[in-house]
Structure 1
Amino acid sequence: MSPSAGSLIWISCRPLIRLAAGVASGFFITRADIFPLVAAQGAGQIALNITLPCLLFSKIVPAFTTDNIKALGPLVLIAVLYEALGLAFAWITKRFFWVPHRFRYGILIAGGWGNVGDLPTAVILSITGSAPFLGASDQNLSVAYISVFLLVFTITLFPCGFHRWLAWDFVGPDVEPEAMQAKVKGQRQRLFRFLLKERQGPPLPNYDDPPTDEEKTTPPVSPQLPVRTSEIYTQDDTTTVITSPNDTTKPLSTSSQAPSPHAQEADSAFPQPPLPRSSPATHTRPGSCSHYTRLLFAHARSFVKGLFNPICATIYVALPISLVPQLKALFIEVPGVHMPPAPDGQPPLAFIQDIATFIGAASIPIGLICLGSSLARLSIPLNQWRKLPIGAITSLAIAKMILTPILGVLICRGLANAGVLFKDDKVLLFVCMFFSCLPTATTQVYLTQVYSGTGSAEHLTPFLIPQYIIMFFSMTALNAYAIQAIF
């Protein structure tokens, strides 16, 4: 029997109330100056390096079985589809609305990578912990499914190198907003003319290449870097950027805004992003085969290193344990498998499962407090709102928080009808639908602050705030619809 309308509204709102309470706690103690930045940074590192891996281990081991492991493939597919959909919306936004030059690639990351960590875990655990779900068993299964989205997020953003797009924003000289607006205006006019087939009109001015862009101004020359420790990639067709995978340089300006606490969680859990450096083209000219060998080795080493951060390593360990009955019986009781018990009658390694459960319980509160602290440090002076790219901000917020959830529901229902998603796995359907309604990851704040070289993320801030405001309304509606549709 489907829940009543009143029950649906309450079931959908209740987890968001708990979410808001945790975020508000971090927000207010930060505003009251009793949760300093250094404390927030430490809490963020604890969350990603200790408590979140413990939470994932404690939930994955009992949740995954040989029967439901088949959901792993569809979960990866959904996660990749959502990232691709977000990238597409961000690219369209960039084409139709002007975006600051120092955010021209950052908007793609903001569109493609959502907040897949503590925020969805907090809400989904609350919803699956009560009717119409089955309580603890569905909670464990939901966190196991969430871990797949975390794995895809981490691998695509870091080992695959998409985080380097943020560095490209800070290569070369800046471009004035007026030039960017003229460029986008010209693109819109040509597109509309093409769509309307008005090819007989006079040619429009070429705004594609503003006179202040990189193509016309030579980037400043920086000291040459050792090739053996460098990663080389090309931005556009004219500028080559060399970054060191071992470079952990922090923002150099002491008077600028410091990295936000929640985003600082990425400091130790994910590969450290190096600061972008401009370099003459001669730095990347191949000299011999050993040159390419060193480059290939540097890329491979960086990729492999990124695959073994604490979150990914925990998933790699927990998945085989959950699928091999003899290993699983070491941690929890498994029907049909005899395992000599410990003196207390529990499985021999049950104490490890207890430790992971105990420490993992702190993950969600710490994460929400850090999120609130991060948002408290984001500020936009009121006199600057008129200078902001309102069209791009509004378009991206609507795309991520309204259009993507609608398309996400349609995608999930279509895949369920096609047999890709399993209709009898209600937790799987709910998790897949829920992840279509996530705002931009606050981890991008930290990455932008590091890559900028000044410790600021001034262009990202106005894109985040509207998304997190709309989230409370769109997420409530999505939860209510998803529960009604599934049950």
Structure 2
Amino acid sequence: MSASLGLVIYAAVKPIFKIYFIIGMGFFLAKRNILPVTTCRDISDLIVTAIMPCLIFNNIVSYLSSSDIKSIGIIFFEGTLLFGVGAGLGLLTHYVCKSPKAWFGGLVSVGLFPNISDLPIAYLQTLAKTGSLFTAKEGNKGVAYVCIFLASQVFYQFSLGLYKLIRYDFRDQLAAADAEEKVGTSTETASTSDVSKKSACADEKDQHEASAKTSAKTSSKTSSKTSAKVSEAAATNDGPKFSPRYSDDSGSIASDDLEAKSLTEGTGKDANKHPPTTMGSDHRNSTATSTCASHVRRRRSSSIAIDNPLYMTSSRAADSRSSVVEDMGDLIVEYSEFQRLKTHETQRSQRSQAVADDDESSQEYPVAAPVEATAPLSKRIRAHVISTLKNFLAPNSVTLIISLIIAMSPPLKALFVSTKFHIAPAPDKQPPLSFVMDIASYVGAASVPLGLLILGATIARLKVNAIVPGFWKTAVMITACRLIVMPIFGVGLTTGLQKAGWYGDDRLIRFVSVLEFGLPNATALVYFTAFYTDPNSPDHLQMDCLAICLIAQYAILFVSLPFLVTFSLKVSLGF
């Protein structure tokens, strides 16, 4: 098939317009607070739990068969090289540019994990829509190949635990927090005796006061009964008769106003009595107060709207647009598990200390030693294998395994799609379970647009608070490795595999493989970094370094990726 150079260039550039437009839309919605951090997190969970599994099931069952087992093995081999070479380039960048030691694991992760699914799927779907270079069937089969690449990344990143590389950068902060926790525990233990003495004195004083109050209540009981009878008679004869018309919504509106006012005033009084000790606690208190007040306002607006349907109520989106735009600090607060990790580290150290101090046997409750310190090597290996296998229970992994089983078995595949294997059709002359494919196709189509919107919202929240001196060299080198060196390596690798006869006549797998080597980093690294970041820390060096690298990569992606696609289509594939 021969195509003009102009057609190839236009076909390579056209998907970039769509990709960057959707990313820009997510950027705009995040700046308007229409896509706040909590909404982005819910959408991400929705994609991982339901939408992406539907996309995987639809494309793998429909377009892969038992003859593609060789291609699946090639993709896993190329994925291993992709991640291994990327990690090696990250290590090389660290030592050549003398990158910050506090961002060692993060830099290796930048070289290790690309945005392996959303961008190539968007490219393939756009190229296949016109039919000038790839047919619709080839485009969908290419999406299935991308899903296999995604499976290889999930295997290395989650099943083998390589995402924990980012935790390595926060070891000093967790150790410092552990030391502070120990100091606080010792101080609390030292002050326990004084508190117990004061409480004993207070108990004696309370007993004397209680006996005095009992005698006073006994003497006043008779007079209280007489006054109660008089007041009851007065209420029966002269009291006002309340009718239902007095209990209208105006009363509820007034009570809501008083409630909102009391919330605000009470919070202010509490803040004066108990000033916040940390910046994070102050942020959470103010957030909780504003949330309660906004809930009262929405409830009051809804009660007015019931009486007057013409009353225009403001939506939640309008309320969020009027508030302060959320930034990286809000994302860290939403995703951070630093306090829980700190508590876990403290408990581990306490258990280890309890095991080491055999002489101190005066504990009320025995402290169990951690499995890592007491279990034999065989049990530790078995526990690691079990935890690895549990990671295969994720929705994407389960769906991938089930989809491959169905795709490789002709009788099972014939239940979902039309194949050469004969099976009794449904009354509409379609396979009996074709409606399952309709559902999967309909739901899975939302995966890539939503993923690109979340990508744009994440980029909108990237913020660099401080730049480490000389870090620009690290950012330039890792960007060049990611978007220049890796594509060159990918073109050379696929050319060698083609000459070795690995691909056969399947040009699509070669194109998808080259495309995977020219992608920037996955923005999921932002969430992994936020997971280990202390929200109360005055500086976030790891997040600043990651933000600089992501901004640099996505700033030149619109040039590097079309150039790689044009070269692959015209030179490597011979279009």
TM-score range for the pair, normalised by the shorter chain length: 0.7 to 0.9
- C-alpha separation in 2, matches of 1:76 and 1:57: 19
- After superposition, the CA RMSD in angstroms is 2.9
Cα deviation 1:285-331 (Å, max 9, x = unaligned)? 88986455654444233211112211111110111111111111100
- C-alpha separation in 1, matches of 2:447 and 2:560: 25
Cα deviation 1:127-172 (Å, max 9, x = unaligned)? 2333444422112211111111111111101110111111111112
Unaligned runs of 5+ in 1: 175-213, 224-251, 268-272
Residue 309 of structure 1 is matched in structure 2 by 394
Map 1:390-405 → 2, pairs under 5 A = 390-405=472-487
- C-alpha separation in 2, matches of 1:16 and 1:411: 25
- C-alpha separation in 2, matches of 1:320 and 1:482: 32
Residue 483 of structure 1 is matched in structure 2 by 569
Residue 121 of structure 2 is matched in structure 1 by 121
Residue 550 of structure 2 is matched in structure 1 by 464
- Whether the 8 Å contact between 1:274 and 1:450 is mirrored in structure 2 is no
- Whether the 8 Å contact between 2:406 and 2:412 is mirrored in structure 1 is yes
- C-alpha separation in 2, matches of 1:327 and 1:397: 45
Shift of 1:173: 5.5
- C-alpha separation in 2, matches of 1:38 and 1:452: 17
Match for residue 444 of structure 1 among 513, 525, 538 = 525
- C-alpha separation in 2, matches of 1:17 and 1:136: 20
One-letter amino acid matched to 1:322: A
Shift of 1:112: 0.9
Shift of 1:258: 3.5
- Asked if 1:324 is matched to 2:409, the reply is yes
SS of the residue corresponding to residue 95 of structure 2 reads: helix
Shift of 1:29: 0.8
Residue 30 of structure 1 is matched in structure 2 by 30
- Whether the 8 Å contact between 1:8 and 1:480 is mirrored in structure 2 is yes
Map 1:364-403 → 2, pairs under 5 A = 364-381=448-465, 384-385=466-467, 387=469, 389-403=471-485
- C-alpha separation in 2, matches of 1:220 and 1:345: 70
Cα deviation 1:349-393 (Å, max 9, x = unaligned)? 000000000001111111111110111111125xx4574610101
- Whether the 8 Å contact between 2:497 and 2:503 is mirrored in structure 1 is yes
- C-alpha separation in 2, matches of 1:463 and 1:30: 20
- C-alpha separation in 2, matches of 1:462 and 1:322: 42
Change in CA separation of 1:355 and 1:388 when aligned onto 2, cut-off 3 Å: farther
Map 1:278-297 → 2, pairs under 5 A = 280=349, 290=375, 292=377, 295-297=380-382
- C-alpha separation in 1, matches of 2:60 and 2:525: 27
How many residue pairs get aligned? The number is 406
One-letter amino acid matched to 1:452: T
Cα deviation 1:84-136 (Å, max 9, x = unaligned)? 11111111100011322321111001101111121221112212333444422
- C-alpha separation in 2, matches of 1:5 and 1:41: 42
Shift of 1:426: 1.2
Change in CA separation of 1:75 and 1:30 when aligned onto 2, cut-off 3 Å: same
- C-alpha separation in 2, matches of 1:372 and 1:288: 45
Change in CA separation of 1:386 and 1:443 when aligned onto 2, cut-off 3 Å: closer
- Whether the 8 Å contact between 1:260 and 1:377 is mirrored in structure 2 is no
- Asked if 1:406 is matched to 2:474, the reply is no
- C-alpha separation in 1, matches of 2:140 and 2:562: 22
- C-alpha separation in 1, matches of 2:332 and 2:460: 9
- Whether the 8 Å contact between 2:86 and 2:111 is mirrored in structure 1 is yes
One-letter amino acid matched to 1:418: A
Residue 363 of structure 1 is matched in structure 2 by 447
Change in CA separation of 1:274 and 1:327 when aligned onto 2, cut-off 3 Å: farther
Bigger relative CO (Cα 8 Å, ≥ 6 apart): 2
- Asked if 1:430 is matched to 2:514, the reply is no
Shift of 1:472: 1.2
Residue 186 of structure 1 is matched in structure 2 by none
Change in CA separation of 1:145 and 1:355 when aligned onto 2, cut-off 3 Å: same
Map 1:15-414 → 2, pairs under 5 A = 15-172=15-172, 220=179, 253=280, 255=283, 257-259=329-331, 277=345, 280=349, 290=375, 292=377, 295-335=380-420, 337-381=421-465, 384-385=466-467, 387=469, 389-414=471-496
Shift of 1:27: 0.5
Residue 240 of structure 2 is matched in structure 1 by none
- C-alpha separation in 1, matches of 2:8 and 2:372: 66
Change in CA separation of 1:388 and 1:33 when aligned onto 2, cut-off 3 Å: farther
Change in CA separation of 1:164 and 1:76 when aligned onto 2, cut-off 3 Å: same
- C-alpha separation in 2, matches of 1:274 and 1:149: 31
- Normalising by structure 1, we get a TM-score of 0.77
Shift of 1:68: 2.4
- Whether the 8 Å contact between 1:100 and 1:459 is mirrored in structure 2 is no
Change in CA separation of 1:386 and 1:110 when aligned onto 2, cut-off 3 Å: closer
- Whether the 8 Å contact between 2:475 and 2:549 is mirrored in structure 1 is yes
- C-alpha separation in 1, matches of 2:385 and 2:403: 25
Change in CA separation of 1:169 and 1:59 when aligned onto 2, cut-off 3 Å: same
Change in CA separation of 1:131 and 1:351 when aligned onto 2, cut-off 3 Å: closer
Q: Deviation above 4 Å: which 4+ runs of structure 1? A: 252-256, 273-276, 278-289, 291-294
Change in CA separation of 1:386 and 1:166 when aligned onto 2, cut-off 3 Å: closer
SS of the residue corresponding to residue 313 of structure 1 reads: helix
Identity of aligned residues (%): 28
- C-alpha separation in 1, matches of 2:374 and 2:551: 49
- Whether the 8 Å contact between 2:371 and 2:380 is mirrored in structure 1 is no
- C-alpha separation in 2, matches of 1:367 and 1:460: 20
- Normalising by structure 2, we get a TM-score of 0.66
One-letter amino acid matched to 2:410: P
Change in CA separation of 1:32 and 1:66 when aligned onto 2, cut-off 3 Å: same
Shift of 1:421: 2.9
SS of the residue corresponding to residue 517 of structure 2 reads: coil
SS of the residue corresponding to residue 67 of structure 1 reads: helix
Cα deviation 1:3-25 (Å, max 9, x = unaligned)? 22211110001111110111111
Shift of 1:53: 0.9
- Whether the 8 Å contact between 1:116 and 1:438 is mirrored in structure 2 is yes
One-letter amino acid matched to 1:49: T
